[in-house]
Amino acid sequence: MKDFDAIYSDYYSLVYKYVLTLCHDKYIAEEITQETFFKALKNIDKYRGECKLNVWLCQIAKNTFLTRETQNKRHCNQSIDTFEGTDDLEQAFVDRDTAFIIHRILHKLEEPYKEVFWLRVFGELSFSQIASLFEKTESWARVTYHRAKIKIKEELI
């Protein structure tokens, strides 16, 4: 347990800042960070050391955030009455369908393209932050993001 206390104190700030870039809410970021370390403690025996510990923790945090977002979307009932006209309603469905198609393509995209694209677009991280997470250069992050965009566009066609 003492080792995990050291992990917690060494990486809490990094994970919290990462989650904060995802959700932009300090209270939610705190909750997700706490949940991340709880999950990490429960599953520390599954950590194989194939990646750096901070990358593993950020992956847990990202998955925790995504799970929370999915649950929030399920519970959020948007009333059709909020749309003023038929055009707005149709546009909302088109946008949702398009977004779903892109998410499906992104889900099937291989790594590191999927992760880099997700971090840049949804996580709103800079290329230098992405490079730091992967321990690569900023140029690598830019090229990987650009290639991910090309792969997504190819799938859309």
The whole-chain average pLDDT of the chain stands at 78
CATH class of 1-77: mainly alpha
- Which tens digit of pLDDT belongs to each residue from 98-140? 667 777 777 788 888 888 888 887 777 888 889 888 898 988 9
85-157 has which CATH code?
1.10.10.10
Phi, psi of 13 (to 5 degrees): -60, -45
Rounded CA separation 138/150 (Å): 19
With contact defined as beta carbons under 8 Å apart, do 64 and 36 qualify? yes
| Position 72 confidence tier, pLDDT thresholds 50, 70, 90 | low
Q: What is the pLDDT of residue 13?
A: 92
Is pLDDT above 80 for 83? no
Is pLDDT above 50 for 155? yes
Greatest extent of the chain over all pairs of C-alpha atoms, in Å = 60
Domain ranges of the chain: 1-77, 85-157
DSSP output for 18-67: HHHHHH--HHHHHHHHHHHHHHHHHTGGG--SSS-HHHHHHHHHHHHHHH
Q: What is the pLDDT of residue 17?
A: 92
pTM (2 decimals)? 0.48
Q: Cα–Cα–Cα angle for 43, 109, 106, nearest 5°?
A: 90
